[in-house]
Structure 1
Amino acid sequence: MIKVLFSARPAAWDEYEAPLRRAFDAAGLDCDLSRDHAPQDTRYIVFAPNGPVKDFTPYVNTRLVMGLWAGVETVVGNTTLTQPLARMVDDGLTRGMIEYVVGHVMRHHLGMDAHLAGQDGVWRDTVYPPLAKDRPITVLGLGALGAACGQALAALGFPVTGWSRSQKQIDGLTCLSGDDGLTTALSGAQGVVLLLPQTPATDSILNARSLALLEPGAFIVNPGRGPLIDDAALLAALGSGQVGAATLDVFRKEPLAADDPYWSHPRVTVTPHIASTTRPDTAAQVIAENIRRGEAGLPFLHLVDRKAGY
């Protein structure tokens, strides 16, 4: 029997136990799922950083640690974690992110806030958007989520430029990489979507210099990671009008402090890190597939590159 340890916050057990058991059965896996397996008996760990396992040293027979989250920045630097680490990539997470990004991009593109806030009897017929084809959008980060969101926006008619650390080729997108590529990707962009991982190289990638490259009045949507943005630079750009609006789902410190200026800024929308979350039913299928592959001697899916940090 394959012993699978579930290490996440206690409430997550109630959400994941039944979907995981169903997924194991569907995959023909004889798994013993528990929160209490002895380390030496544990073959696989289903893991979230808010769970009880912090020291992986005793898990000498563990073949794979499978994260429940897309981001791994809080665990990838754990020096006791010598086992292979897989991050969560699943259809539910991707679909949720597409819906969030498309919804907020369309909100800013259409200028909906001007009409929603202006229900005061004034006929604002001068507030209307260009066509999507005339609104260039840049997506920073072309992993599974960034690529999917970029293609969804391109399908609506937006010209989408994507940027990533390494060169990619994705249907429907203009793909750039490197420092020069970043400058080109941001120059004249009217909207920017941030879906990069959090690494030392991406910290404050949106700063005073890069924000100045945008078309004046551009909007920012950040469902990626809070440290991607230099907060002081963004607030200054909002104050000058260089940035017209921002939807922010992630922050350097969460929950966002009650007195943080983002809360009260008239052109900032704060959402509480809910852009997309892992769905137990779809995530369980990914976990079961990786266990199946491990037992069959096949390569694992979605392994983290420790040197790259994601």
Structure 2
Amino acid sequence: MTTKYGKIFLATTDWDPAIWLDVFREKAPERVVVTEREGHEDKIEYALVWKQKPGSLANLPNLKVIFSLGAGVDHVFRDNQIPDVPLVRIISDDLTQRMTEYVAWQVLDHHRLGALYRKQQRAHVWHEDPRQPAASDVTVGIMGLGVLGRDAAEKLKILGFNVTGWSRRPHEIDGVRTYHGTQGFADFLKTPDIIVCLLPLTPDTKGILSMAMFTQLKSDGPLGAPILINAGRGGLQNEADILAALDRGLLSAVSLDVFNQEPLPADSPFWDHPKVTITPHAAASSSAKALVPQIIQQMEDYERDGTLRNLVDKAMQY
């Protein structure tokens, strides 16, 4: 096939590339996508990556742009042979909506005592627990106020919750009390009854969900000790500390969508812990149907005038 466009290298592991190839053929039949680089090195201009094999992007002399197919980009930086070209992270309404759905689902499940009532159902117990607070009496604290965190905060406000937020840099969201930086983090930790972590994984945030953080949380909220929901990255959490915090009563429950090792090993203590809800990294799966048109548009804009949106700061790694 002869085309005026450079080739696109789809470099992924853990995902079936056929789905992405089919959508590209439908949406941009004039563009050639390859899954192996051998024989195409000097023709490849774009790379689409998800947990690419280390070194798979090296020695591509005409590579112009790398697109991360996931919400985060930490997986890209695990490769120490990343070419010095622009790295673009994907932001889409579809992915944002999926993440907000997950956050709202988990927040509401904990708020409305879902685990308790499921336990009562299994035991054939009919009892309305009197501890149900109003949403307006519960504060949800969101760690990470990028596109995903901002949308979740706005939707939780609509549901009636008080919302606070923390990020490394200042952000302003209507109706949300925000904090930033090191001192702001300590102040933020005094606010939440439910903590939602949507931070990117960087050298600065690695292991932030740790005992050092949990010991700073309040312990007398309307839901008891705070509840932790992590839908960011597994590397954000110290898993031994989470288990210890549950046992010590520093956390009353957790919902974890991500782990340091995935799939979660069958012998992990998280599986059978009565205060743990597990989902298999399913909070906001990337949809080829939703993302491919956006990627194509980015390529067209770049080819027309060099425009790229959602560029990653490589020094900050997000």
Identify whether the pair has TM-score above 0.5, normalized to the shorter chain: yes
| Secondary structure, counterpart of 2:252 in structure 1 | strand
Distance of aligned partners of 1:262 and 1:297 in 2 relative to their CA distance in 1, 3 Å threshold:
same
Match of 1:21 among 15, 18, 25: 25
Contact in 2 for aligned 1:195/1:224 (Cα 8 Å):
yes
Alpha-carbon deviation of 1:94?
1.0
**Which structure exhibits the higher relative contact order, with contacts defined as CA atoms closer than 8 Å and separated by 6 or more residues?**
1
TM-score computed with the length of structure 1 as normaliser: 0.92
Alpha-carbon distance in structure 2 between the residues aligned to 1:95 and 1:75: 24
Match of 1:171 in 2: 174
Alpha-carbon deviation of 1:10?
8.8
Alpha-carbon distance in structure 2 between the residues aligned to 1:209 and 1:13: 41
Contact in 1 for aligned 2:207/2:235 (Cα 8 Å):
yes
Match of 1:222 among 221, 226, 230: 230
Alpha-carbon distance in structure 1 between the residues aligned to 2:306 and 2:155: 32
Q: For 1:158-180, what per-residue CA distance to the aligned partner results, in whole angstroms no more than 9, with x for missing partners?
A: 11111111111223322210111
Alpha-carbon distance in structure 1 between the residues aligned to 2:60 and 2:305: 20
Alpha-carbon deviation of 1:9?
4.0
| Secondary structure, counterpart of 1:263 in structure 2 | coil
Alpha-carbon distance in structure 1 between the residues aligned to 2:76 and 2:84: 11
Contact in 1 for aligned 2:54/2:81 (Cα 8 Å):
no
Contact in 2 for aligned 1:137/1:159 (Cα 8 Å):
yes
Q: Which residue identity is paired with 1:73?
A: D
Contact in 2 for aligned 1:223/1:248 (Cα 8 Å):
yes
Distance of aligned partners of 1:127 and 1:261 in 2 relative to their CA distance in 1, 3 Å threshold:
farther
Distance of aligned partners of 1:187 and 1:296 in 2 relative to their CA distance in 1, 3 Å threshold:
same
Alpha-carbon deviation of 1:227?
2.1
| Secondary structure, counterpart of 2:271 in structure 1 | helix
Alpha-carbon distance in structure 1 between the residues aligned to 2:150 and 2:25: 31
Mapping of 1:274-285 within 5 angstroms?
A: 274-285=282-293
Alpha-carbon distance in structure 1 between the residues aligned to 2:295 and 2:152: 23
Contact in 2 for aligned 1:222/1:247 (Cα 8 Å):
yes
TM-score computed with the length of structure 2 as normaliser: 0.90
Match of 1:205 among 201, 204, 208: 208
CA RMSD of aligned residues (A): 1.9
Match of 1:104 among 86, 103, 106: 106
Contact in 2 for aligned 1:114/1:127 (Cα 8 Å):
no
Q: Which residue identity is paired with 2:93?
A: D
Alpha-carbon distance in structure 1 between the residues aligned to 2:74 and 2:14: 22
Contact in 2 for aligned 1:111/1:127 (Cα 8 Å):
no
Match of 2:307 in 1: 299
Alpha-carbon distance in structure 2 between the residues aligned to 1:11 and 1:160: 35
Alpha-carbon deviation of 1:181?
0.9
Distance of aligned partners of 1:239 and 1:189 in 2 relative to their CA distance in 1, 3 Å threshold:
same
Number of matched residues? 305
Alpha-carbon deviation of 1:36?
4.6
Alpha-carbon deviation of 1:239?
0.9
Which residues of structure 2 form unaligned runs of 5+? 220-224
| Secondary structure, counterpart of 1:206 in structure 2 | coil
Alpha-carbon deviation of 1:13?
2.5
Q: Which residue identity is paired with 1:154?
A: K
Q: Which residue identity is paired with 2:204?
A: A
Alpha-carbon deviation of 1:76?
2.3
Match of 1:160 in 2: 163
Q: For 1:222-281, what per-residue CA distance to the aligned partner results, in whole angstroms no more than 9, with x for missing partners?
A: 110112222222212211222111001111111112111111110001111111110011
| Secondary structure, counterpart of 1:124 in structure 2 | coil
| Secondary structure, counterpart of 1:277 in structure 2 | coil
Contact in 2 for aligned 1:55/1:81 (Cα 8 Å):
no
Match of 2:134 among 126, 131, 135: 131
Mapping of 1:5-84 within 5 angstroms?
A: 5-9=9-13, 12-24=16-28, 30-36=30-36, 38-50=40-52, 54-76=55-77, 78-84=80-86
Q: For 1:92-123, what per-residue CA distance to the aligned partner results, in whole angstroms no more than 9, with x for missing partners?
A: 21111111110011000111111111123434
Match of 2:151 in 1: 148
Contact in 1 for aligned 2:58/2:81 (Cα 8 Å):
no
